Structure 1
Amino acid sequence: MFDPEIAAAYSARGTVSPETFARVMDDYRTRSERAVRDLPGARGVAYDEHSDEVLDVWGIADAPRPVFLVIHGGYWRSLSRLDTAFMARTLADHGIATVAVDYGLAPATSLPEMVRQVRAAVAWVHRDGPAHGLDRNRIVVCGSSAGAHLAATTMIGGWQADLGLPDRAVHAGLLISGLYDLRPLIHAEANEWLFLTEQSAADLSPALAPLPDDPAPAVIAMAEHEADGFRRQSRDFHRHWARGSAGPLLTVPGRNHFDVFVDLADRDTELSSAVHRLFALTAPTHTPK
């Protein structure tokens, strides 16, 4: 049974008009197509031997480039990597490659399988990324909404060794408008396609996982105009992660749950500045002789 109060708190669509939602969804695809036009890269690269999922690599060059691995939102049931490359040209101008990841969507794909897939995408960057001009030692993971949840599952511990990865498989994270404790969704509309139980919701919640021994730096961000549940969870997860790794909680003024993500297409926004600060933290240090 849905709880009307919980359902309202986790209704991102309820915070914008249908016209605004449609406009932003169109903006994702239009801006992404424009950003990657004539940009060096590789489309539709298979990254996971256990599924048909693919990723795109944009902004590559002769020398290995730091990696912005970006995971789309869509409440785990819509959108794709093709809607999630609008930042690629701006980042390429700063010497950063963009890896936009597809994953299976609900209800055909279970949430545990989505988590497995995005972790496999991180493993692909470590294993095959250097052959595509990627620096596997400088990976910043990013996601918006459902993508922020999936990105956070690559930052917690307990899965890396099975894929032959170091404990800190990603080196920093930008998590935008995400959900990190999935238990409330049992009582919201999203459970019509996620099929969560109390146990599975807890198991899939980054906020309930133990902090890694050496948590990667993270920026937790949200829009000014978020539904209450998203706003609350951003604050709670920031407090949780900050116990092991200091980083800011950003509230982007004038933005809603959907259009805040597009700020990454503009080099002069607060979110873009946060990306560059995170990459600066991943830069190798040299001790003077």
Structure 2
Amino acid sequence: MPASTDAALTWPDLTDRPRPAADATIAYGPDSLQVIDLWRPAADGPHPVVLMVHGGCWQTEIADRRLMDWIAGDLRDAGVAVWNIDYRGVDRSGGGYPGTFRDVAAAADRLRDEAGAHGLDLDRMVAVGHSAGGHLALWLAARHRLPAGSPLASPDPLPIAQVISLGGLPDLSAVAASPDNGCGTDVIAQLVGNRPHPFADTSIPPLLPIGARQILVNGREDAIVPYRFATDYVARAQAAGDPVELHTIPDTGHVALIAPGTAAWTTTRALVLAALAKEPA
């Protein structure tokens, strides 16, 4: 059976579209990647907000925050503000362990500092991450569970009650043991560091239960993130007592998850608006 349009969608099918523009860029550190793009609806706030984390196999060479521009613009059109963070990947000076994790943590915490100035309602917030960003979005929600003594721990992390992971990679040990994943296995060693128990403060399963509502959206024909990563994680999270649900989108690959107009993004958009208690526009 031939692949559907959504299953066969390529990156140029997305990136060749007209690109919407963010409303502001906010620095949270001295590096050019330590920035956040703010997408703010034109109407008066306070606005519900999505904390957005891009993927790219944790590598800046593959992707940065701009890969999320199209869904960020779509959410802005629906009346939702987007806090689209960037971070140093494992292939950049200062990235890897602990820098990549400290970057996303600093960018998330900056949202709390800036919310009032930009009319952002943190009582209506959901984190959304794609691919490697799905892992990082879940990790942000799990920061309060980090083991004592971890270099990644912080005393007052931004509370995140809801996460939507799009084709995410929550279990780093499973990724490291799975050469069929599209990111490969070597990148995990760069991400978690060469140290005893490298997954204890970086991968999500050791931190369960994280206490956040978790929604996974996965394409059934995703060639980058094997579907079993979703089902295996859901089983573990549910067994730990977390509220977790999986939405499987048939005839869908990895790119379609962040491409407006696809069945996957239509489903996710509705899930985001429902999580924010905002009806679809």
Normalised-by-shorter TM-score class? 0.7 to 0.9
| 1:132-147 → structure 2 map (5 Å cutoff) | 132-147=118-133
Structure 2 match to 1:73 = 55
**Take 1:67 and 1:185, find their aligned partners in 2: how far apart are those partners?**
30
Please report how far the alpha carbon of residue 131 of structure 1 lies from its aligned counterpart in structure 2 after TM superposition. 0.9
Matched residue type, 1:96: V
State whether structure 2 residue 19 is matched by structure 1 residue 34.
Answer: yes
Partner of 2:149: none
**Between the two proteins, what is the percent identity of the paired residues?**
26
| C-alpha distance in 2 between matches for 1:269 and 1:180 | 23
Structure 2 CA distance, aligned partners of 1:181 and 1:63? Answer: 37
Q: 1:204 to 1:122 in 2, by over 3 A?
A: same
Contact 2:10 2:255 in 1 (8 A): yes
Distance 1:227 1:192 in 2: 18
CA displacement at 1:154 relative to structure 2: 0.8
Distance 1:266 1:114 in 2: 31
Unmatched runs of 5 consecutive residues or more in structure 2: 147-151
Per-residue CA deviation, residues 31-86 of structure 1 (Å, 9 max, x unaligned), is: 4x5333xx6x213x112468851010012443121111111111111211111121
Name the TM-score, length of structure 1 as normaliser.
Answer: 0.75
1:20-41 CA-to-partner distances (Å, cap 9, x unmatched) read 98x732344344x5333xx6x2
Q: Corresponding residue for 1:226?
A: 222
Q: Is the 8 A contact 1:107 1:193 kept in 2?
A: no
Residue 276 of structure 1: aligned partner: 273
The yes-or-no answer on 1:152 pairing with 2:132 is: no
Structure 1 or 2: larger helix share?
1
Calculate the TM-score normalised by the size of structure 2. 0.77
Provide the C-alpha distance between the structure 2 equivalents of 1:88 and 1:135, rounded to a whole number of angstroms: 17
Shift of 1:135: 1.5
Determine if contact 1:263/1:271 at 8 Å carries over to the other structure. Answer: no
How far apart in 1 are the matches of 2:105 and 2:187?
A: 25
1:262 counterpart (248, 259, 262): 259
Q: 1:1-289 to 2 correspondence within 5 Å?
A: 24-31=10-17, 34-36=19-21, 41-43=23-25, 45-48=26-29, 53-60=34-41, 61-77=43-59, 78-108=62-92, 109-156=95-142, 157-158=144-145, 162=154, 164-165=156-157, 169-187=159-177, 188=179, 189-192=184-187, 194-195=189-190, 196=192, 197=194, 199-212=197-210, 215-227=211-223, 230-242=226-238, 243-263=240-260, 269-280=266-277
For residue 277 of structure 2, give the secondary structure of its aligned residue in structure 1: helix
Counterpart AA for 1:107: D
State the 4+ residue runs in structure 1 displaced beyond 6 angstroms. Answer: 264-268
Q: Give the counterpart letter for 2:209 in structure 1.
A: L
Where 1:174 maps in the other structure, the secondary structure is strand
Deviation at 1:204, TM superposition (A): 1.2
How far residue 119 of structure 1 moved from its aligned partner, in angstroms, is 1.6
Q: In angstroms, what is the RMSD of aligned CA positions?
A: 3.1
Amino acid at match of 1:199: H
| Mean Cα deviation higher: 251-260 or 155-164 | 155-164
Contact 2:169 2:175 in 1 (8 A): no
Q: Which runs of no fewer than 5 residues in structure 1 stay unpaired? A: 1-15, 282-289
CA positional deviation for 1:153:
0.3
